[in-house]
Structure 1
Amino acid sequence: MWHHYHHDLDARIRLLIITQFYPPDYAATGQLIEELAIKLSQKEFKVHVFTGQPGYAFSTASAPKYEQIHQLSIQRSQISRFWSQRIRGKALNGLLFCLRAVLHIVRAAMHHDIAVLTTAPPYLPVLGYFARRLLGLRYICLVYDLYPDVAVRLGVLKPNHRLTQIWRWINCKVWGQAEQIIVLSSTIRDHIVENYGIPAHRISIIHSWTDPSLVIPRPKSDNWFAQRHGLDRTFTVLYSGNMGRCHDLETVMATAKLLRHEQVRFVFVGDGAKRSLCMQLAEDYGLQNCLFLPYQDKQDLPYSLTACDLSLVSLSRGMEGLLAPSKLYGCLAAGRPVAVICDDRSYLKDLVTEAECGEAFQQGDREGLAAFILHLMAHPQRVEAMGQAGRTYLEHHFTPDIIAEHYAQVICRSAGRSRRPQLLPSAAPQRQAVPVSDRLD
């Protein structure tokens, strides 16, 4: 067993973050990690990020191998891009990144106090388990998407498949050795507690965020993105971000079909496995009210996110508790109402209800979503009021400073350091974990 030397208690905590995606990659998880790493490096942390070259969605295929920004250092390994839009290709690329990360951990373990390992790729936290057992490195698991459960819900794996059973057993081992597990929503925590037997007190709920100083509400009349695409002349419904298998876009397309004769435009900004499906449905339905655009550079997001009158966030049926869409927080910052398509028990429904910034609709409820859009079209004052309420809610709960402080508290506690927590606004509404036996059918 290797042991870390203990340095002065006043010294910075040496934090290692390992994640496959990081800017200039467009992946939302990577962009959030970048903002988090910068904020933590401005606190009591010396942060080192080990990541890959752009490999998910990008306009720049390569980035510097090494970067140093004050107390933040970034090291990028080579990355493979085998069939990056297909499940098997993503799995292979993730596995190859993990192999490179193994070598990095072996070299870096003695020089860090604690590591944060993301589930990008899903099996990356396994490295933390072995680093803890063999090298003595403490680690925290940051869970974005809960595998193999997502793969089972998508039909990629069968519930009783040997690989599924092994993967779940590994999750229990990995989470059991972790100092803490960070999840993005209360329903993800509930799922882990109920299905994996991990005590709730070992799971911290920390939401994603958006910087309200970067995404600022602006009228479409003063928005070049809206004007370039003719969105300043019509009521616009925006879906921005990952158009993947876990997101219900079929309900959105069915709603667009219902409203094909109304003065409303549906704009899709992003990419993913369902993008081609949506484009095919638009062609099959003969829709002229749909516009498909690629991912936008980060500096253009303040304009693309505000080039609408209503934002959409969705989860496919059965995905609640397995992942949390990060696109929600940009929608709130943009000062636009939000329509969420989700299960009735979703934390998304709780959030928009608490914030009074939109409405929630169950998957398949095209009539309800269409009626909400028509209501907003007829009542522009409601658009303004809901949008402002959502932004105010974000400013009180989901800014980079607020969220970074939550992370700092968890990391310090996990590293065995004490710190005086800063005063924070009240937390977002959370559902309490309830054992399966206590739930009603």
Structure 2
Amino acid sequence: MSDTDKEYVLVTEYFHPDTASTGQLMTDLAVGLQERGLDLTVLTGQPNYHSGDNDKQPSVSTHEGVLVNRIRAPQLRQSSFLRRGFNWVVFTVWMFLKLLVSRPRRDREVIFVSNPPFLPIAMWLVCKLRGWDYTYIVYDLYPDFTVETGYFDAGGTVDTVWSTLNEHIFEDATHIVALGPVMRDRIIANAGAEFDDSKIKIIHNWEDEEFIEPKAKDDNWFAKDHDLTDTFTLLYSGNIGENHDLETVVEAAANLDEDDEVTVLIIGQGDKKDAIVELAEQHGLRGSRIKFLPYQPLDDLPYSLTSGDVSIVTVQEGMEGICVSSKLYTAMAAGMPVLVIAQPNDDETQIVQACDAGLQAAQGDAEEVVDAIRTWTDDPNLVKEQGENARISFESQFTKDHSIDRYYRLLDDELTVTPDAVAQRSKTDSRARQKVSR
């Protein structure tokens, strides 16, 4: 049982059945917290992320026991930045107004993520006006993200005003969740001199250990269908966005020898996909050394995500502490070594190296990527060992229950997770697997 004197509201743009990774993570979190006894309601939008086949959802419904309220305003399919920006504005304004006029039954705590970018400002303001506690989950750190991706100048008016507002958001929060130590340190550096850094807790994102399990390529129909069984395969699966450095992967593939039996499989969509495809075509690699596929159907993910020999996790240079790729946890769950293309001091690099679960290369250093590939192709035992390390470390640190238990203790630290609740979660997990591409 939870504290009957408080109700919790989770505000997230994406929620089941949306295909965004944030939507699946927030769905897992809401269901998990409800199962553990928290009185939780979700406020969310209509499905609008890439899939194109999600029917409009009712304004009020339940999902695995969680009450879900959706905005009635129009939401556009995210086929361009302008359409995405329209959704951000509509969602943020709608949630601010809905919470402002709402009538809570008891004391309330609002939980929200850092996307859309201006949502934290709106949630901070409404919580200040209503006198509510709030928990801020930092998935992407703004305005740092927009500065590093070139949308605003560092030290400019937008950056300065936004940063000042962020200091108040951090200072007034009841809890702040960072996805890794480097992100935590960057939040502390941004939060101002009066900030109490003890309110930051590191809680990693997760993967479902029963949905994604290691599979040998010889036993994997997806690997067979796409001619991956007889070639050393580097797999990237997920969003191909501005903060993902796949250019280095393409350049490395171009630097391999013709007789190197290596294939790069890139699965997904995103704002930068056309540019990556064009780069591969310029090198004459598309369809031969580098293969491209769209997002895969839900039921195929346990096979597509385990069809390689090595998983690629890559971030853009300058993103240290600004975001932590959720692909990392899926890659480790798949039981493959991880090629992490990031700086040595990045959260992704530190996790992979601490677990001895892969190799690191710096962004832009194609030769370093080639060296990593040849290290693996020359030593199959290393591939096997690092893959096993990835899965073992994942099971001990990064499963869904590990992380949601931490959220539960953070939100209600006087309570403990009961054996009955754990048993109920196991039954629920075995009944319904609704995972999406990362």
SS at match of 1:111: coil
Alignment check: 8 A CA contact 2:314 2:342 kept:
yes
Q: How does 1:31-180 map to 2 (within 5 A)?
A: 31-65=24-58, 66-69=60-63, 71-78=65-72, 80=74, 84-108=78-102, 110-111=104-105, 113-180=108-175
SS at match of 2:412: helix
Alignment check: 8 A CA contact 1:21 1:120 kept:
no
Q: Give the distance between the partners of 1:214 and 1:151, measured in 2 at CA.
A: 34
2:244 aligned to 241, 247, 251, which one? Answer: 247
State the partner residue of 1:264. Answer: 262
Classify 1:173/1:40 alpha carbon distance in 2 versus 1 (closer, same or farther; 3 Å): same
Q: Does 1:372 align with 2:372?
A: yes
Q: Does 1:224 align with 2:224?
A: no
Q: Give the distance between the partners of 2:215 and 2:76, measured in 1 at CA.
A: 40
SS at match of 1:302: helix
Q: Does 1:21 align with 2:18?
A: no
Q: Give the distance between the partners of 2:77 and 2:164, measured in 1 at CA.
A: 29
Q: Name whichever of 301-310 and 288-297 sits farther off.
A: 288-297
The Cα shift of 1:62 comes to 2.4
Q: Identical aligned pairs, as a percentage?
A: 33
Q: Give the distance between the partners of 1:356 and 1:266, measured in 2 at CA.
A: 22
**Paired positions, count:** 412
Q: Give the distance between the partners of 1:235 and 1:78, measured in 2 at CA.
A: 48
Alignment check: 8 A CA contact 1:77 1:100 kept:
yes
TM-score by length of 2: 0.89
The Cα shift of 1:222 comes to 1.6
SS at match of 1:164: helix
Alignment check: 8 A CA contact 1:12 1:46 kept:
no
State the partner residue of 1:323. Answer: 323
The Cα shift of 1:12 comes to 8.1
Q: Does 1:396 align with 2:370?
A: no
Q: Does 1:188 align with 2:186?
A: no
SS at match of 1:175: helix
Q: Give the distance between the partners of 1:56 and 1:64, measured in 2 at CA.
A: 14
Listed one character per residue, the Cα deviations across residues 46-100 of structure 1 (whole Å, up to 9, x for unaligned) are 2211111122221423242232145411222246555834444423320111122
Alignment check: 8 A CA contact 2:10 2:42 kept:
yes
Q: Give the distance between the partners of 1:260 and 1:80, measured in 2 at CA.
A: 51
Alignment check: 8 A CA contact 1:13 1:44 kept:
no
The Cα shift of 1:184 comes to 0.8
Listed one character per residue, the Cα deviations across residues 264-300 of structure 1 (whole Å, up to 9, x for unaligned) are 1111111112211110011111012111111223332
Alignment check: 8 A CA contact 1:45 1:71 kept:
no
* Runs of 4+ more than 6 Å apart: none
The Cα shift of 1:107 comes to 4.6
The Cα shift of 1:187 comes to 1.0
Q: Give the distance between the partners of 1:308 and 1:79, measured in 2 at CA.
A: 41
State the partner residue of 1:338. Answer: 338
Alignment check: 8 A CA contact 1:225 1:304 kept:
yes
Q: Give the distance between the partners of 1:79 and 1:144, measured in 2 at CA.
A: 25
The Cα shift of 1:305 comes to 0.9
The Cα shift of 1:422 comes to 8.0
State the partner residue of 1:427. Answer: none
State the partner residue of 1:310. Answer: 310
Letter of the 2:20 counterpart: A
CA RMSD of aligned residues (A): 2.1
Letter of the 2:134 counterpart: Y
1:278 aligned to 268, 272, 276, which one? Answer: 276
Letter of the 1:363 counterpart: Q
Classify 1:241/1:110 alpha carbon distance in 2 versus 1 (closer, same or farther; 3 Å): same
SS at match of 1:364: coil
Alignment check: 8 A CA contact 1:342 1:361 kept:
yes
TM-score by length of 1: 0.88
Q: Give the distance between the partners of 2:263 and 2:252, measured in 1 at CA.
A: 11
